[in-house]
């Protein structure tokens, strides 16, 4: 099913070329400003998270404490065919100390095109951390402490998890917690998310994490479920997604179209990219089948956001 990337570069070198700046050579913790951050720091448009949740795109640091993952989702843009090993687990302090210099390095190419004072301010005083670059953050053993330390100074922290490690989901308290939901049962989960290990066991873990969302909200965490919609793959059963959403009651549901990017192009064709109208139709069908309503949409990022209806 998979084609190996044809490159003489090591996986680490390939990622470095793609803009990943590693915190140390013997670990996979990394910082990489996203394209929206690069655009915003030049004075351009902000991303959909600014539109939906008010975060400051130019002051957002996208990072991960590990690139390791226990899933190999068909739509993942990282190279799931070659893993980057963590031979050392960094402490939260080591990660946090390294972030400012790596964020500035990642945005250095944008400096000549930006207002100098704005570039300095954005890169010196980030206000938001997106622990969502790639990899599964709940595999990092010190995630609760990392989040607490990142939040110091009134920073917001968004964490995106695949939900396979509920014992870690239980312990963390980011500003906003995203859990991915890309399948509706163990069989479709095995096909779409390719877990490493027993698919039924991992799927039950995902459901256990989703069932924790109400508790997380009671603890003051904003909760969101993210569905990556892949045409011809998981887009035909909105009512089954709606049932899981209704049972677990996240505050928001982001339905995001698959993007034909990175290594996913070796596993999927462009026909797997749903158009915006297909995403809107799917989102409406989900909302109609549960207690949710359309909150907003952002066409450049191919995302529609639902929110829970007030009853």
3-state SS, residue 190: helix
Residue 226 interacts with ligand SF4 (CB under 6 A): yes or no: no
To ligand SF4, the closest distance from the beta carbon of 230 in angstroms equals: 11
**Backbone region of residue 194 per phi and psi (left: phi > 0; alpha: psi in -120 to 50; beta: other values):** left
When the beta carbons of 40 and 202 are compared against ligand SF4, the nearer one is 202
Residue 27 interacts with ligand SF4 (CB under 6 A): yes or no: no
Distance CA 199, CA 7 (A): 31
Residue 51 to residues 46, 202, 304: CA-CA distances in angstroms? 8, 33, 12
To ligand SF4, the closest distance from the beta carbon of 70 in angstroms equals: 7
Distance CA 27, CA 148 (A): 21
Supply the DSSP string of 41-72, one letter for each residue.
HTT----HHHHHH---GGGEEEEES----S--
Distance CA 10, CA 266 (A): 18
When the beta carbons of 57 and 138 are compared against ligand SF4, the nearer one is 138
Residues 186-215 that bind ligand SF4 (CB under 6 A): none
When the beta carbons of 106 and 135 are compared against ligand SF4, the nearer one is 135
By CB under 6 A, the count of residues binding ligand SF4 is: 11
> Which residue has tokens 């980057």?
84
Residues 109-138 that bind ligand SF4 (CB under 6 A): 134-136
When the beta carbons of 97 and 198 are compared against ligand SF4, the nearer one is 198
Contact in structure between 22 and 14 (CB atoms under 8 Å):
no
Residue 162 interacts with ligand SF4 (CB under 6 A): yes or no: yes
Distance CA 178, CA 162 (A): 8
To ligand SF4, the closest distance from the beta carbon of 71 in angstroms equals: 4
To ligand SF4, the closest distance from the beta carbon of 136 in angstroms equals: 5
Residues 32-61 that bind ligand SF4 (CB under 6 A): none
3-state SS, residue 200: helix
When the beta carbons of 69 and 225 are compared against ligand SF4, the nearer one is 69
When the beta carbons of 58 and 183 are compared against ligand SF4, the nearer one is 183
To ligand SF4, the closest distance from the beta carbon of 91 in angstroms equals: 23
Distance CA 301, CA 52 (A): 12
When the beta carbons of 73 and 114 are compared against ligand SF4, the nearer one is 73
To ligand SF4, the closest distance from the beta carbon of 183 in angstroms equals: 11
Q: Provide the 10 A C-beta neighbour count for residue 281.
A: 15
To ligand SF4, the closest distance from the beta carbon of 229 in angstroms equals: 13
When the beta carbons of 40 and 67 are compared against ligand SF4, the nearer one is 67
Residues 61-80 that bind ligand SF4 (CB under 6 A): 69, 71-73, 76, 78, 80
To ligand SF4, the closest distance from the beta carbon of 192 in angstroms equals: 9
The helix-helix angle for 238-248 and 276-288 (nearest 10°) equals 50
Contact in structure between 306 and 287 (CB atoms under 8 Å):
yes
Distance CA 275, CA 282 (A): 11
Residues at the interface with ligand SF4 (CB under 6 A): 69, 71-73, 76, 78, 80, 134-136, 162
């Amino acid at each position: 099913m998979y084609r190996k990337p044809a490159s003489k570069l090591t996986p680490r070198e390939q990622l470095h070329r793609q803009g990943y700046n590693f915190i140390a050579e013997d670990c996979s913790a990394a910082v990489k400003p996203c394209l929206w951050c690069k655009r915003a720091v030049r004075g351009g448009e902000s991303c959909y998270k600014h539109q939906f949740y008010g975060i400051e795109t130019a002051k957002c640091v996208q990072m991960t404490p590990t690139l390791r993952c226990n899933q190999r989702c068909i739509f993942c843009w990282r190279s799931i065919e070659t893993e980057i090993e963590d031979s050392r687990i960094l402490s939260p302090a080591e990660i946090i100390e390294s972030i400012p210099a790596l964020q500035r390095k990642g945005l250095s190419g944008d400096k000549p095109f930006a207002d100098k004072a704005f570039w300095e301010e954005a890169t010196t005083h980030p206000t938001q951390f997106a622990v969502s670059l790639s990899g599964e953050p709940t595999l990092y053993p010190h995630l609760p402490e990392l989040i607490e330390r990142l939040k110091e100074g009134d920073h917001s922290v968004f964490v995106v998890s695949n939900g396979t490690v509920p014992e870690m989901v239980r312990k963390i308290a980011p500003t906003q917690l995203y859990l991915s939901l890309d399948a509706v049962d163990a069989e479709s989960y095995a096909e779409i998310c390719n877990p490493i290990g027993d698919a039924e066991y991992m799927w039950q873990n995902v459901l256990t994490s989703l069932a924790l969302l109400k508790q997380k909200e009671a603890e003051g965490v904003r909760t969101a479920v993210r569905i990556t919609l892949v045409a011809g793959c998981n887009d035909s059963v909105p009512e089954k997604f709606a049932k899981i959403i209704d049972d677990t009651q996240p505050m928001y549901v982001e339905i995001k179209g698959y993007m034909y990017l990175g290594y996913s192009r070796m596993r999927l064709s462009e026909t797997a990219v749903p158009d915006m109208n297909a995403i809107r139709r799917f989102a409406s069908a989900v909302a109609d089948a549960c207690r949710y309503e359309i909150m907003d949409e952002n066409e450049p990022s191919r995302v529609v956001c639902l929110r829970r209806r007030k009853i």
